Chain A
Amino acid sequence: MPNKTTSTIAFDVLLRGETDDMDVATANLDKLRPPPEAIEKCFRWFAAKGVTCFRTDFGLGCEATVELFQSLFDVKLKQIGAEQPHYQIDGELHISKEIADLISQVTLVRPPTFFG
């Protein structure tokens, strides 16, 4: 499935909703939706840094080069896995103070298994 070069990575940025401290279910899902202005602010921040972003209900879907990701979050990435190589964060992410309060988590996307 991956149709990008190996140096491009996908990552998800989940933004904070009304509360983050709960067991999630369809019934309380709306409490996790961030305010639209928070999504817009983060979208513009990442886009300005050269990240390709897509707005979603709970945050952003993003793509960037490994180098850009490392510099944005002041962290190292290491490649793991033989069959389905993917990157793992080595250490702790540092999110810019400009948007840190809005962000719940930043996670790397891994390729799925097709159950063919």
Chain B
Amino acid sequence: MAKKKRTKKKVSARKKPSSTRRSSAKKTDGGGKVGAGYSRVIADKKPKDVVFEVVVRPDTGKSAFDLDALPSVSSLSDYVPAADKCVEVSRKLQRHGISVEQVGRFSISASCPTSHFEKFFGTRVSKQTLPKSANLPKDYAMYAPGKGDPWSLPKVDNLDLLIDRAYIQHEPVFFANERPIPPHWPDKFRLRVPVDVAQILRASSVHRLGIDGEGVKVAMPDTGFYHHPFFKEQGYNFLAVTAPDASDHTSDDHGHGTGECANLLATAPGINFIGVKMGFNPTLGFKTAVELRPDIMTNSWGYSVDHPGTSMPNWLKPLYLAVLDAVSRGIVVCFSAGNGHFGFPGSMPEVLSIGGVVVDKDLNYSATTYTSGFESTWFPGRRVPDFSGLCGVPPTADYIVLPVQRGAVLDKEDGWGAFSGTSAASPMVAGVCALLKQADPSLTGDDIRNLLKYTARDITVGTNAHGEHATVGPDLATGFGLVDAARAINAVL
């Protein structure tokens, strides 16, 4: 799935490659008529398509590429071709199989298959050697005609007289600490946010109906919420605050909170998100979130304490009361069930308890041996979980590529990590709750629980960490199954 998205992006993404590599006619690098530039490639493989800028020759006889040319605001008109000339060139390019994306004052943004580009300009596109001192990402590659490669303007329809030069454009390097787009690591199958998560949970089709969680406030207490470029790129409403006993809301040295909230925003990109950075006391972090009066809370943490033969210790009573208080205020509270843990507060009957389902590259759905599913000892009759989000498999649940602060504990490479226990599943389900809340603000927590239960995709294959088997109907392996946003929304519209 991730691969599919990347291919699509190359052709139509807003950010098309940019950068430069001039080559010129007659194998020279200064006086030629066409150059080559930009195309970001992840693997060592020539890109299928290239995007490029075609600079139209101005009528003044001047060229911005002349060695003595010094374009400035006052002399800019010297380099502007007649408007009808740009249109003429565009039409001719289209006639010769080149897609015109935009006609500007100076140049035309165009694209075509790489092989066509090579034929049209009589050149060869190859991977260029980049200086080590450029400090580029490991997987950054630039494909363009090389310095010694042939190059000529097409001698058809007078295009060689109308075009000044043409250069392939390359993907820019973002001068942030982290890349804004999840990387594709080829060693194994992984999901990427936001598209893969939204599609598998069938939230994408709900977004297309105009339901994306807008107006719904969701709070999440966790390790911190770093302002990763990914969040800005996606345009999320993202706010981070600290609990009274925490400091520096801008940092997340661990990475857990920053990464997991991307699952929430994948399923409900329009929500008002508030991340609460916990300090020393998680109960205080939770209560801080409650005070913000959210509609929904998601919690990817807990204690492995609801074991057979035990009862609730006093030290958990404050947290217990805080969770009950949140529910009594009408907040929909989601908790991860745990990764083989006997998770509390995820075992409380008042919360939505979230387990995990894994989906492989062939779209086979199954329970995963990474996640919890058990009968609560502390709350008789309580079966954990209620339903599930997406989750990885042992040993590390390295499944969903998530943004983290560079250098954080969970940073795998370039400000991205892959960690996906039930910590990932709870925010996903919370996102679906937000979609339902937007569709019908009068829904209570119990209403939402019932809607999600009876519209979930039943999982009938696999076993969880406690040895519980997935069967037809609800079970301890995945609860009622994988949450299905589209079916849940259809039930209320």
Contact = CB atoms under 8 A, between A and B. Distances in A.
Of B222, B324, B339, B424, most buried by chain A (CB within 10 Å of CB) is B324
Contact of A10 (B259, B284, B397): B284
17 contacts: A1-B279, A25-B324, A26-B324, A56-B287, A58-B325, A63-B280, A105-B314, A108-B315, A109-B280, A109-B281, A112-B302, A113-B341, A115-B300, A115-B301, A115-B426, A116-B300, A116-B419
Top 10 closest pairs, chain A to chain B, by CB: A107-B315, A12-B318, A10-B281, A26-B328, A115-B336, A61-B284, A116-B423, A115-B423, A112-B301, A10-B280
Contacts of B336: 115
Interface in B313-329: 313-318, 320-322, 324-325, 327-328
Nearest to A62: B281
A52 interface: yes
Contact of A3 (B246, B282, B283, B420): B246
A58 B282 CA distance: 15
Contacts of A27: 328
B23 interface: no
A116 B283 contact: no
Contacts of A52: 245
Contacts of A26: 324, 327-328, 350
Interface string B366-409: 00000000000000000000000000000001000000000000
Interface of A: 1-4, 8-10, 12, 14, 24-27, 29, 32, 52, 54, 56-59, 61, 63, 105, 107-116
B421 to A, nearest CB: 5
**Secondary structure type dominating chain B contacts:** mixed
B256 interface: yes
A3 B397 CA distance: 26
B301 A113 contact: yes
Interface size class of B (residues with CB under 8 A): 35 or more
B459 to A, nearest CB: 19
Contacts of B282: 1, 109, 111-112
Contact of A113 (B222, B280, B304, B410): B304
B303 interface: yes
Given A29-B328, A63-B245, A112-B302, A58 B321 contact: yes
Nearest to B315: A107
A27 B327 CA distance: 10
A107 B282 CA distance: 13
Given A3-B247, A26-B350, A115-B422, A56 B322 contact: yes
A87 B426 CA distance: 30
A113 B424 CA distance: 14
B301 A61 contact: no
Contacts of A115: 300-302, 336-339, 341, 343, 421-423, 426
Given A26-B327, A58-B325, A116-B410, A110 B315 contact: yes
B281 to A, nearest CB: 4
A61 B283 contact: yes
Given A1-B282, A61-B281, 17 more contacts: A1-B279, A2-B280, A4-B280, A10-B245, A14-B317, A14-B318, A54-B284, A61-B245, A105-B314, A108-B315, A109-B282, A113-B338, A114-B301, A115-B301, A115-B341, A116-B410, A116-B420
A110 B303 contact: yes
A84 to B, nearest CB: 10
Given A1-B282, A8-B280, A114 B300 contact: yes
A69 to B, nearest CB: 13
B325 A57 contact: yes
A1 B423 contact: no
Nearest to B254: A1
B278 interface: yes
Contacts of A12: 281, 283, 315, 318
B223 A1 contact: yes
Contact of A116 (B244, B256, B303, B321): B256
Contacts of A63: 245, 280-281
Contacts of B316: 107
Nearest to B303: A112
Contacts of A4: 245, 279-280
Of A1, A3, A61, most buried by chain B (CB within 10 Å of CB) is A1
Contact of A58 (B247, B318, B419): B318
Interface in B412-466: 419-424, 426
Contacts of B424: 116
